[in-house]
Chains A and B, each alone.
Chain A
């Protein structure tokens, strides 16, 4: 965790343009979520809101390793994943508002972002419930001979669920092309990892199912990307499922209802010293790859994108109540 420089094996790929892009992606989702937090206080966004702030290096590092025909299955803390997968920020923000222009027509809200066009399959709010879906999507690709990867994101909490173990076993047994990405932020809601797991080295659990596994510093976007690149390459080469544990930390509460009684402020402050955005920009500055004008330009572009997304959401329409029962079934069914 203390190592502040990117993993050395990844360095050959580290062009200024590429690093700037990683930085830009992390800033986009960081600022988007900060704005969502404000909009929640203003009651524009309701229900549950789970912010990803602090964990951006994971989604940013993995998402760039995926191809358009690959699929993504994520959790309820998935705004960043959706945006980085290519779901327009406008459609994501409208979904946060519950507007009909949202990526799930406003029906899902923050926890259920879906976008078939970018093969983004949720937005799954049952912990570990997305893993079997990812296994099945990969099974379909395998049976149809399609060289695709399904990337499945989940937290450390999911590792305690039976479906985690069943899914790892099945994916390994059938050698399915799944990239399991464990976003280990140390807390399952308010329960610290060592209060829930007898074995806190989570990647070891994958290893016992014969799934190639690795743990990386999830606050280091370059390290995450390098590992994800190796693993997606291996999957594409037919090596079967891979498990990437990203050790990360959420800086904000679990949800907007969480008073955070279970952790010390000092612990949060300590982790903030590893902030993935600050860390990458500092390192780029030291190595001369970040110019003075770069970050302000990224911030300006991001602000404009977010303002446009908010305006889009504000201008959006509520789905007509007459459509309430639409799309319960694909064909009309009267129960």
Chain B
């Protein structure tokens, strides 16, 4: 082992997305006594996806707060606690369950500031696992991020990398308004290296994850790795794809998207939501409004098939956006 290797080892470490998220939670709990985590089985059980494992023992039942199965009320309680000086992190076990709390999120968290004439802020963070791939079937596997992104008053973010898993939470907690953070369930086991110094990151801007010149692939969350795989496959066919990770769905960083599309003149949007009324539709419309005259081809979308996500693996995978479908969509645009 050389000195250089030792330096690398000391300044970075191998970590999973789950562990990065747990570090972010622990860091927030240590840094701000107003922060607490609340949700179903976040405490004794260690979190449905083991994200909060160990935190109950370290911080106790007051700050790692197990709730009854009362989504609407513990979400509303998070909003109330935020109104009254706390910085709650509320975990909702899966996006499908968040529908039971949609009233509180849409009718209260998102409205209270504007409706009260700017008197209150609601500094709460909702952490919501989302997406398919684990054969959890049609009531635990959907991608409803686009619904939340529809609502003024909310911020919606989707950490797709280890850096974002580690860094978005603290920034979200500093935000005075409600932030909905979607964690794709297939990312939790993703492993990679993370610099020891990794800290808070912005939650406003999209990021170019791979530069390219021929086509812009726009995605977020759990579809990022599939999109990068597609870009790699396209490179083998001498098609240079730029990959934009939106990171934030609301606000949407149109500037980064439009600048990329203006360079590449083609766009494909990859979104695990259903095509009809999807977030991809919004991105597509923004491109039409802002970059229509730059386009060499119609904007294309690769979305989930319009079915409830089925249980058997072959059908589940057939329903979801896949690298092959992304490659095919790009080639269709390129006439290749």
Instruction: Please list the residues of chain A having a beta carbon within 8 angstroms of any beta carbon in chain B.
Output: 71, 73, 102-108, 112, 114-116, 121-124, 126, 129, 131-141, 143-144, 162-163, 166-167, 169-170, 173, 326-331, 333-335
Contact = CB atoms under 8 A, between A and B. Distances in A.
Contacts of B104: 129, 132
A167 B152 contact: no
Interface stretch (B13-21, B65-73, B262-270, B320-328): B65-73
Interface stretch (B108-116, B294-302, B311-319): B108-116
Contact of A162 (B72, B107, B114, B155): B72
A38 to B, nearest CB: 25
Nearest to A174: B65
17 contacts: A107-B115, A107-B116, A112-B115, A112-B116, A114-B117, A124-B108, A126-B103, A131-B76, A132-B74, A133-B80, A133-B83, A135-B80, A137-B81, A137-B83, A144-B86, A330-B175, A335-B252
Contacts of B62: 143
B79 interface: yes
A108 B68 CA distance: 33
Interface residues of B, number: 44
Nearest to A330: B176
A103 B115 CA distance: 10
B107 A132 contact: no
A331 B176 contact: yes
A139 B80 contact: yes
A19 B252 CA distance: 58
Given A166-B72, A333-B155, A326 B108 contact: no
B177 interface: yes
B67 A170 contact: yes
A74 to B, nearest CB: 13
A170 B73 contact: yes
Contacts of A141: 84
Interface stretch (B118-126, B138-146, B189-197, B218-226): B118-126
Contacts of B119: 104, 114-116
A98 to B, nearest CB: 11
B75 interface: yes
Nearest to B82: A136
Given A103-B117, A143-B62, 5 more contacts: A132-B73, A133-B79, A139-B80, A327-B114, A333-B177
B251 to A, nearest CB: 5
Given A116-B120, A133-B108, A139-B77, A166 B86 contact: no
A110 B68 CA distance: 34
A282 B104 CA distance: 44
Nearest to A109: B115
A163 B72 contact: yes
Given A170-B73, A173-B68, A329-B177, A139 B81 contact: yes
Nearest to A173: B68
The B contact surface, by secondary structure, is mixed
Interface string B41-69: 00000000000000000000010000110
A139 B67 CA distance: 13
Contacts of A131: 73, 76
Contacts of A124: 108
A134 B72 contact: no
A102 B78 CA distance: 28
B285 to A, nearest CB: 13
B250 A104 contact: no
Given A132-B79, A134-B80, A136-B79, A167 B108 contact: no
A266 to B, nearest CB: 38
A326 B67 CA distance: 35
A140 B84 contact: yes
Nearest to B110: A328
Contacts of A73: 80
Contact of B118 (A132, A163, A327): A327
A133 B84 CA distance: 10
A132 B73 CA distance: 5
Contacts of A140: 80-81, 83-86
A107 B78 CA distance: 24
B77 A132 contact: yes
B325 to A, nearest CB: 29
B182 interface: no
Contacts of A326: 118
A329 B109 CA distance: 11
Contacts of B114: 107, 327-328
Contacts of B129: none
A118 to B, nearest CB: 11
A333 B153 CA distance: 9
A108 B76 contact: no
The 9 closest A-B pairs by CB, nearest first: A136-B80, A132-B76, A105-B117, A136-B77, A327-B118, A166-B73, A166-B70, A140-B84, A114-B116
B116 A104 contact: yes
A136 B177 contact: no
B105 to A, nearest CB: 11
B70 A170 contact: yes
B42 to A, nearest CB: 15
B36 interface: yes
A170 B79 contact: no
A330 B72 CA distance: 24
Contacts of A134: 80
Contact of B116 (A108, A167, A170, A173): A108
A328 B178 CA distance: 11
Nearest to B255: A334
Interface string B77-103: 111111111101000000000000001
Contacts of B112: 114, 122
- For B76, B79, B85, B108, the residue with the greatest tally of chain A CB atoms inside 10 Å of its CB is B76
